[in-house]
Amino acid sequence: MKYHLVILGCQMNHADAERMQAVMAKLGYASTDREEDADVIGIIACSVRQKAIDKVYSKIAKWNKWKNKKNLVTFVSGCVLPDDRQKFLKLFDLVFDMKELASFPAMLSQYGVTTPLSNTTKIYEADMAEAAKPATAAQKLKYAGVRPVSNVSAAPQTWDVEPIYNSSFEAYIPIQNGCNKFCTYCAVPYTRGREVSRPSSDILKEAMQLINSGYKSITLLGQNVNSYGLDKKGEELSFAELLDQLGQMADDSGNEVWVYFTSPHPRDMTRDVIEAISRHRSLAKQIHLPVQSGSDKVLIRMNRKYSMDRYRDVVTWIRELLPTATLFTDVIVGFTGEDEEQFESTRAAMREFKYNMAYIAMYSPRPGAASFAWQDDVSHAVKKERYAILTKDLEKVAIVHTEKMKGQTVRMLVRGKDKKEAYLTGHTEGKIIVRFPSSDESLIGQFVDVKIESVRPFSVEGELVKQTVEV
CATH of the domain at 300: 3.30.750.200
* Residue 341 buriedness (CB in 10 A; 0-12 / 13-18 / 19+): exposed
Q: Which amino acid is at 321?
A: L
Do 14 and 100 have their domain in common?
yes
Assess whether 8 and 119 both reside in one domain: yes
One digit per residue, the tens of pLDDT, for the chain of length 471 reads 899 999 998 888 899 999 999 999 988 999 999 999 999 999 999 877 778 888 999 999 999 999 989 989 999 998 888 888 889 999 999 999 888 888 888 888 776 555 565 444 443 444 433 433 443 433 333 322 322 222 233 334 677 788 999 999 999 999 998 899 999 999 888 888 889 999 999 999 999 999 999 999 999 999 899 999 999 998 999 999 999 999 999 999 999 999 999 989 999 999 999 999 999 999 999 999 999 999 999 999 999 999 999 999 999 999 999 999 999 999 999 999 999 999 999 999 999 999 999 999 999 998 888 999 999 999 999 999 999 999 999 999 999 999 999 999 999 999 999 999 999 999 999 999 999 999 999 999 999 999 999 999 999 999 999 764 443
- Whether residues 186 and 151 share a domain: the answer is no
Q: Which CATH number fits the domain that encloses residue 229?
A: 3.30.750.210
pTM attached to this predicted model = 0.85
Number of structural domains in the chain? 4
Structural domain harbouring 394: 288-403
Same domain, 279 and 337: no
Taking alpha carbons only, the member of 449, 453, 465 closest to residue 412 is 449
Domain end point (choices 129, 156, 183): 156
Query: Is 421 within a domain?
Result: yes
Residue at 66 is within a domain: yes
| C-alpha to C-alpha distance for 177 and 15, rounded to whole angstroms | 12
Is 62 part of any domain?
yes
Which of 403, 427, 453 is the last residue before a domain boundary? Answer: 403
Q: Length of the chain, please?
A: 471
Question: Is 29 within a domain?
Answer: yes
**139 and 46 within one domain:** yes
What are the DSSP calls for 150-172, one per residue?
Answer: GGGGGSPPGGGSPP--S-SSEEE
38 and 106 both lie in a single domain: yes
User: Domain end: 403, 419, 445, which one?
Assistant: 403
Burial class (CB in 10 A: 0-12, 13-18, 19+), 78: buried
Residues 97 and 178 in one domain: no
Residues 60 and 106 occupy one common structural domain: yes
Q: What is the CATH number of the domain that holds 448?
A: 2.40.50.140
Whether residue 140 is contained in a domain is answered as yes
316 and 446, same domain (yes or no):
no
Cα dist from 372 to 48, 51, 360, whole Å: 12, 16, 20
